[in-house]
Amino acid sequence: MIEHQYDLVVIGSGPAGESAAMNATKSGLSVAVIDFRKAVGGNCTHQGTIPSKALRHAVHQIMQFNRNPMFRYVADQTWLSFPQVLETAERVIQKQVSMRARFYARNRVDLFHAQAAFKDKHTLELTYQDKKVETIKAKNFVIATGSRPYQPPEIDFNHPRIFDSDSILSLDSTPKNIVIYGAGVIGCEYASIFNGLGLKVDLINPGERLLAFMDDEISDALSYHLRSHGVLIRHNEAFKSIEGFDDHVVLTLQSGKKIKCDSFLWANGRTGNTDSLNLAAIDLKANRRGQLEVDEHYCTQQENIYAAGDVIGWPSLASAAYDQGRSISGVISDNGTYRHVNDIPTGIYTIPEISSIGKTERELTAEKVPYEVGKAYFKDTARAQITGEEAGVLKLLFHRETTELLGIHCFGDQAAEILHIGQAIMSQPSESGGNSIRYFLEHTFNYPTMAEAYRVAALNGINRLF
C-alpha cells in the first residue's frame, strides 16, 4: 500500500478547498487536495454556482433580445430550448476547470481523484474508482466537501420527470410547465430561469414570503416581478406526496391542492457531504443536516481538523467559502492572512438580481435604532433608461443622527455589482466619518452610470432629515 505524507491535506476542490490549498502552499507547506471527481472545481463549478449563473445569463440575454423593439428589424422573437442554453454553462464549466487545474499545477499542489475516509486524526484512506487503496497522512486536514440537495426518502428522484437542483442540469428537453418546491435562493433563481425560457412556472413556498431573510421591500419587489411575468406563487404550502407518471407529475399538498406538471424540481434544503468521511474514526459527528460545527478559527473539535464552506452551513456562499478556506490556512501557517469572515454580502441571481449587506428595516426597528431610508428607483436613472433595465431600486438605510450606513439593499440589473460600492463605504471607520451616507454627496460619480443611483438615494435620504 502506497503512503503519502503532507503538512496539509484538503478534502474537496471547491472555493474553500482551493483557497486553503493555494494560501498554504504559498506559505511553504506541502499540500495535497483530494476530490472524488476527475475534474477540479467542486460542486460550485460542476453543479451549483457556475452552471446556474451561466444559465441565468444566457436566459437574460434571450429576454433582452425579445423585448427590445430594435431587434425586430433583424429577427422575430426567438425562444431557445433548455439544452441549448445549457451549452453555455457547459462551455463556462470547461473554462473554469482548465483554469483551476493550472492553479494546482503551477503551485505544485498534488491532486488525488479518489474517495476519502478517515482512519485516524492524521490518516486518510483513499479509494479509487478501480478499487485501488492508498493511505495519506498529514499534520492538518481541511474538510471542504460541500453539500448536495436534500432528498426526502418518500420522493422518487430516479423518475425521469422529478429533479433536484443538481440533476436538473441533465434535463434534455424543455417542458411546457414546471413546479418548483422551495422558494429559497435556488428555487427563486430557477423560477426566474424557467420563466425566462417561456415556461409556465408554479413556485411553491413552505414559508410566508419569498427569501424571508431579505429586506421585506426587496422580497416584495421580487414577488411582484415574478408574478407580473406569470409565475404563480403559493405561500404556506407543504407537500404531502409526489407521484411521477409517464407523461406528467402530480404534486399533492397538505392543504388538499393537487398540481399537475410536466416536470418537478425539488429545491428545499441541502445536506453536508460528510456521510462518507468515516467521522466516527476521529470522534466527530455531523448534525442532522450533515454539517460540522466549528469555532471562530474554523476548527472542529479536533485541533488539527478544520472545515469550511457549505459543509459548515451558513452562509453557504462561494464567496464566503473562499475567504474561510484562506483563513484556515492562515491559521495553520501563521502567515497573517487569518480573519473571521463576517459582514458578508448576499448575491441572489434571480432576474433581476438581488444583493444585500447589513441590517434590514425589520431588524433595525426591532433594535430601536433611529434610522432613515434613502431610495433611488432604476427607472429614474439615465443608465437604466439607456439599457432598458428599468425594474429595480437601490435602498440605503442609515442612522439619522450619525448618517452612518447601516444596510444596503438592491433589486435590479447588476445589483450584485452595484452593492460593492456601498459595501466599501460601510467598511470605513465610523469614528472618523468614513462610513457616512454623505460620501455619496461629497464625491462626483460618472454619468450616466448605475453607480449614480447612490447619489440619488443619498439625496432622497438626507432630505428626510430634520
The CATH number assigned to the domain with range 352-462 reads 3.30.390.30
CATH number for the region 3-149+271-333 comes to 3.50.50.60
CB-CB contact of 285 with 143 (8 Å): no
Cβ within 8 Å of residue 447, ≥6 positions away: 382
Identify the three-state secondary structure at position 1.
Answer: coil
Question: Are domains 3-149+271-333 and 162-268 of this chain identical in fold?
Answer: yes
Please give the annotated binding residues for FAD, written as ranges.
53, 145-147, 310
* Number of Cβ within a 10 Å radius of residue 68: 11
Unique residue bearing C-alpha cell 462561494: 318
In this structure, which amino acid lies at residue 141? F
pLDDT at 165: 96
- Return phi, psi of residue 90, to 5°: -65, -35
pLDDT of residue 343: 87
- For the record, the C-alpha cell of 175 comes out as 417542458
With 0-12 / 13-18 / 19 or more C-beta atoms within 10 angstroms meaning exposed / middle / buried, residue 310 is buried
Q: Which residues of the chain have pLDDT under 70?
A: 1-2, 72
Identify whether the C-beta of residue 350 lies closer than 8 Å to the C-beta of residue 55: no
Predicted confidence at residue 2, as pLDDT, reads 63
Contact 337, 327 (CB under 8 A): yes
Residue reference for cell 435556488:
186
Coil, helix or strand at residue 178 = strand
Binding residues for NAD(+): 182-189, 269
Can you say which residues are annotated as belonging to the binding site? 53, 145-147, 182-189, 269, 310
Q: How far apart are CA 445 and CA 212, in angstroms?
A: 33
CB 307 within 8 A of CB 274: no
Q: CA 63, CA 372: separation in Å to the nearest integer?
A: 36
What per-residue confidence (pLDDT) applies to 76? 72
β partners of residue 249: 244, 261
What local confidence, expressed as pLDDT, does residue 79 receive? Answer: 78
pLDDT digits (tens, 9 = 90+) for 149-166: 999 999 999 999 999 999
pLDDT given for residue 1 in this prediction? 56
Task: Give residue limits of the domains in the chain.
Answer: 3-149+271-333, 162-268, 352-462
> Is the overall model pTM greater than 0.75, yes or no?
yes
**Residue 414, number of CB atoms within 10 A of its CB:** 19
Superfamily holding 162-268? FAD/NAD(P)-binding domain (3.50.50.60)
Question: Could you tell me which residues come within 8 angstroms of residue 306 by beta carbon, excluding any fewer than 6 positions away?
Answer: 20, 140, 141, 142, 143, 294, 297, 298, 299, 300, 328, 331, 332
